[in-house]
Amino acid sequence: MSVIADASLTRFGKREETLLDLACESAVPLVKKYSQDIDFIIVSNAYSGEYNDVSGLNNLISTRLSLDDVPSIRVDNTSGSGGSSIMVADSLIRSSSARNVLVIGAEKMTGFPTKRSTRIIASLLQPEERSSGMSLPSLGAFMARSYLSEFGAPREAIARVAVKNHHNGSLNPYAQFQSEISLEEVMNSKIIADPLRIYEYCPISDGAVSLLLVPDENAKSFSSSGAAITGTGYSSSTSSISSRKSITTLDCVKRSSEMALRYGKITNNDVDVAELHDMTSVLEIIESEDAGFFRKGEGWKAVMNGDTDIGGTVPINTSGGLNSKGHPIGASGVAQAAEIYQQLSGKAEKRQVQNAHYGFSLSMAGFGNSATAIVYEGLS
């Protein structure tokens, strides 16, 4: 079993620094403390070639950190890169192939027009479907329309997810958006893909996060607190949208969540805090159902009842989620783990969930192409 013993984040948002500098900004505090211990580096990044004209990112970063001879790899699984990186790090430690792994998630996406970014991200779609002018935001809109009509949910339930996550983001000093928004502001904001509006989508972001993962038997020598990774689950689904039986169910989320909870030997009822992949707000509702926190078609009621608020029965996206914290793609799944680490270590300050002991994160690639679910247990 591995343990997240330490974490370091940059502020997410529009940043002037290069991708390399952002990655190192997050990693330097950990390297200064643990340079003699780190024996493997995993860099989570999806689009360094497309956005930054950089390849071999892991080698460039390790040299700048003066960890030139430490083995490193880059993991790219589009927006699920972060969860996949942590799964690989955990596997290396469990198999004794590495002892102390530095996981760095980094992405720099601003600087291009939105239309170019939308094209770059749409490149994960199958060409036969992408040629229709489909984009990731359009898939969110198809999903929202189907969900609202299938389950009779009110339109404002989706908007309330954005209101909640902006509130949580206002409590997170690393979030891209640090101000609250009202339901009216969401409902009157610019339409991106009808019926979804701009506040119901994640922004384009820059940012980086670093974690130190260590074997559980050594964890106490690094820190008195931490988050043990007690279960991971990974599952893929078809990347062909036209081949899916339903657009309101994410099979890979169901399977990966069941697997992680089973390996972690807990149930959904035990989870004190969860981070889900809310690229668009409707995804948080659907993932909360498919991950097993709520019955199918009832996730929207939990949002309306405040069950997913900080202080609710299952606080979701206490960090602000992708929606408010930001979504530097390769960094996002790593940032989810950093949030759970902070929550389970009692370091989440104004957004702290009281007595949080078990955590859960869900990092998703593409629009349900694959998902990594992780179950955590606090050490302290």
Interacting residues toward other proteins by CB under 8 A = 114-116, 118-119, 122, 126, 128-135, 137-138, 141-142, 145-146, 190-194, 240-243
Cα separation, 322 vs 38, in Å, equals: 29
Q: By the 8 A CB rule, do 190 and 198 touch?
A: yes
Pick 68 or 150: Cβ nearer other proteins:
150
The helix (H) or strand (E) run that includes residue 256 is helix 251-264
Q: By the 8 A CB rule, do 109 and 329 touch?
A: yes
Pick 128 or 217: Cβ nearer other proteins:
128
Q: How far is the CB of 98 from other proteins (least distance, A)?
A: 36
For helices 281-290 and 136-151, angle between their N-to-C axes, nearest 10 degrees: 60
Pick 204 or 335: Cβ nearer other proteins:
204
CA 254 to each of CA 138, 267, 275, 285, 312: distance values in angstroms, whole numbers, following the listed order:
23, 13, 15, 13, 23
Q: How far is the CB of 129 from other proteins (least distance, A)?
A: 6
Antiparallel, parallel or unpaired: β 72-75 and 358-365: unpaired
DSSP state of 379: -
Q: How far is the CB of 188 from other proteins (least distance, A)?
A: 14
Tokens 């974490």, located at residue: 7
Pick 127 or 311: Cβ nearer other proteins:
127
Pick 247 or 274: Cβ nearer other proteins:
247
Tokens 């950089």, located at residue: 54
Cα separation, 174 vs 172, in Å, equals: 5
Q: How far is the CB of 254 from other proteins (least distance, A)?
A: 20
Tokens 């990693």, located at residue: 27
CA 347 to each of CA 17, 39, 350: distance values in angstroms, whole numbers, following the listed order:
27, 27, 9
Pick 147 or 300: Cβ nearer other proteins:
147
Q: How far is the CB of 277 from other proteins (least distance, A)?
A: 20
DSSP state of 266: -
CA-based angle 378:327:125, to the nearest 5?
A: 115
Tokens 């980094």, located at residue: 106
Q: How far is the CB of 9 from other proteins (least distance, A)?
A: 28
Task: Give 284's contacts (C-beta < 8 A, 6+ positions apart).
Answer: 161, 165, 276, 277, 278, 299, 303, 308, 316, 317, 321, 323
Pick 73 or 191: Cβ nearer other proteins:
191
Pick 99 or 130: Cβ nearer other proteins:
130
